[in-house]
Chains A and B, each alone.
Chain A
């Protein structure tokens, strides 16, 4: 366990160093400019150097104690899917289907059991709140259900 953590710390330090080097490269690419007109690449370059040095420092730093909870890959994956699905659906199929997808996927991420009726209640509740609050009151440009989806469903053109 402790070993694995050390490994991930070391790997992450390398990620930091790589990120720093990437910044140095982009900084030079963006042009550094001159003293009377500093270019857009000046700050990225400076930060790149600093981050690279800090990354090397962290590589040799003694690590503190760690969380001993194993990583929650399943939760992370499902929350990612939930948010991704909402983002992908909200403008294409409308607010309601996107909300339903988000609630179902988030519920799956949780290990607590949830009754189908509670789930449905949450979906309907959020759709109603979402519509009244965000569409009717705050005028966000959502359609409750996209007209394209409706015509696809009813089979008409």
Chain B
């Protein structure tokens, strides 16, 4: 009953004219900047922040939050169409989304993206509504040994991510881990692999790696294809009829599982302070591939490979509001900015925020739903228009894309060094592509590596060097057992054969 009266209060706030208008402005801006390669919600929110001063704090927050989750929708568009991740978390979507475009199914990929994003967000909002304080307490209880175990699990799952040579995939994961080391060491303050560049002390930017390895490498390859009289694999899409966009009935049935699993993973990961949508998307993808009956189809345009990470990254974005709103602990940088925005408007979130400011909390929650409906309505009709991007002739498209890549990498820290770094990764990416190395695991290694190292070292500092600390808590033990199981899985068949043979003897 209390929930109902709260919801009513929230609706009253969120359905006011101003709230609706600014929610719409927020999600529209969000989708747009999300689609720009490299430009993410962070720079947009910090620019928009001073513009919200005159507004009612709730309305201001509704708009700023709209930019954040709207960007998750937009970010996948260029990932799917051009193999160019618009935001870091949508790099995973490119793994299967771009092959779908190559197979002439760009419309369907965008459709799945929109629907999976919508489902992921909406379901996660339900969780936030019902269980925000409970989830916050659960997330708070996660200590460094458990963080380490989660990251290890993600990493082991990652090794199974690409098809082809396992050795090559492992080298790529390790390469990603090395890239994650670059920068000042958190524990000792010593710079590692910065080669004297001050601009590298805070690490290599994920945007540079993703746009270089995928975007630039892809363009250089394409340029060579056009020289050889164009590629036969490249369909000339000029028109996508509406029904081509819709999944077939059996395809639709296949999508529910990935969406629900993605949402689950996204909600849990999103609520943990310090992780974020990128980790969520990768974990969901790896998990989907593990449970799939046709794992070999991943990477060649599997629908599940688009649906799961999209549901996960959108769910995690909504869940990320849980620790921020219910404890005043922002899980990532964007959340920290939103927290800053609240403080600027004179509101300080903390454990009493929900009871002290019910109109604001519930208004915000209801606005998430409204915003997601708006995003769905906004995105579906745009699909027909968006797929036309790939019909733009290469001679115009490529300069435009390279231009956005350059500015996008620059905008991360307003530093030209990042543009050069992107270029270096473009060259590396092209080399890897030619030598049959799949670059996707690099990203996961890069994201998980620093968190894994950080939490390993932290656990051991706190336990004064006692390794058994990892076996002290049930969650950690459970996660480590799953890791062990994953590692032993490939040995199962030969082991069974051995046992059978031993039995015969």
Contact = CB atoms under 8 A, between A and B. Distances in A.
Whether A and B touch (Cβ < 8 Å) is answered with: yes
Interface of A: 8-9, 12, 16, 23, 26, 30, 34-40, 43-44, 47, 50-51, 54-55, 57-58, 61, 63-64, 66-67, 69-72, 75-76, 79-80, 82-84, 86-88, 90-91, 99, 102-103, 106-107, 109-114, 118, 122, 126, 130, 133-134, 137-141
16 contacts: A12-B435, A36-B460, A36-B463, A36-B464, A39-B188, A40-B192, A43-B449, A44-B193, A50-B170, A55-B171, A75-B220, A86-B419, A87-B419, A102-B406, A106-B402, A111-B223
B31 to A, nearest CB: 15
Interface string B386-408: 00000001111011101101110
Task: Report whether over half of chain B's contact residues are helix, strand or loop; otherwise say mixed.
Answer: helix
A78 B286 CA distance: 37
* B178, B225, B393, B467 — most chain A CB neighbours (10 Å): B178
Contact of A43 (B181, B226, B227): B181
Task: Report whether over half of chain A's contact residues are helix, strand or loop; otherwise say mixed.
Answer: helix
B227 A122 contact: no
Contact of B174 (A35, A36, A47): A47
Contact of B43 (A40, A79, A138): A138
B220 A140 contact: no
Contact of B225 (A16, A61, A69, A109): A69
B94 interface: no
Contacts of B224: 69-72, 75
Given A69-B224, A72-B221, A110-B398, A40 B411 contact: no
B414 A112 contact: no
A122 B399 contact: yes
Contact of B416 (A70, A91, A118): A91
Contacts of A80: 423, 426-427
Contacts of A112: 226, 393-395
Interface string B185-229: 101101011000000000000000000000010011101111110
Interface of B: 33, 36, 39, 43-44, 47, 164-165, 167-168, 170-171, 174-175, 177-178, 181, 185, 187-188, 190, 192-193, 216, 219-221, 223-228, 393-396, 398-400, 402-403, 405-407, 410-411, 414, 416, 419-420, 422-423, 426-427, 430-431, 434-436, 449, 453, 456-457, 460-461, 463-465, 467
A130 B225 CA distance: 29
B10 to A, nearest CB: 31
B147 to A, nearest CB: 16
A61 B47 contact: no
Contacts of B394: 110, 112
A55 to B, nearest CB: 7
Contacts of A40: 185, 187-188, 190, 192
Given A83-B423, A111-B227, A141-B414, A103 B399 contact: yes
B174 A83 contact: no
* A43, A50, A55 — most chain B CB neighbours (10 Å): A43
Contacts of B403: 86, 99, 102-103, 126, 130
Q: Which 8 A-B pairs have the closest CB atoms?
A: A36-B465, A72-B224, A35-B465, A75-B223, A87-B419, A40-B185, A106-B399, A103-B399
A18 B457 CA distance: 27
A127 B106 CA distance: 29
Nearest to A59: B167
Given A36-B461, A106-B398, A122-B399, A72 B168 contact: no
Contacts of B228: 69
A93 B33 CA distance: 26
A76 B177 contact: no
A76 B220 contact: yes
Nearest to B418: A87
B395 A107 contact: yes
Given A36-B461, A79-B223, A103-B403, 13 more contacts: A30-B190, A38-B187, A43-B453, A51-B171, A58-B165, A58-B168, A58-B171, A64-B165, A84-B420, A90-B410, A106-B398, A118-B396, A137-B47
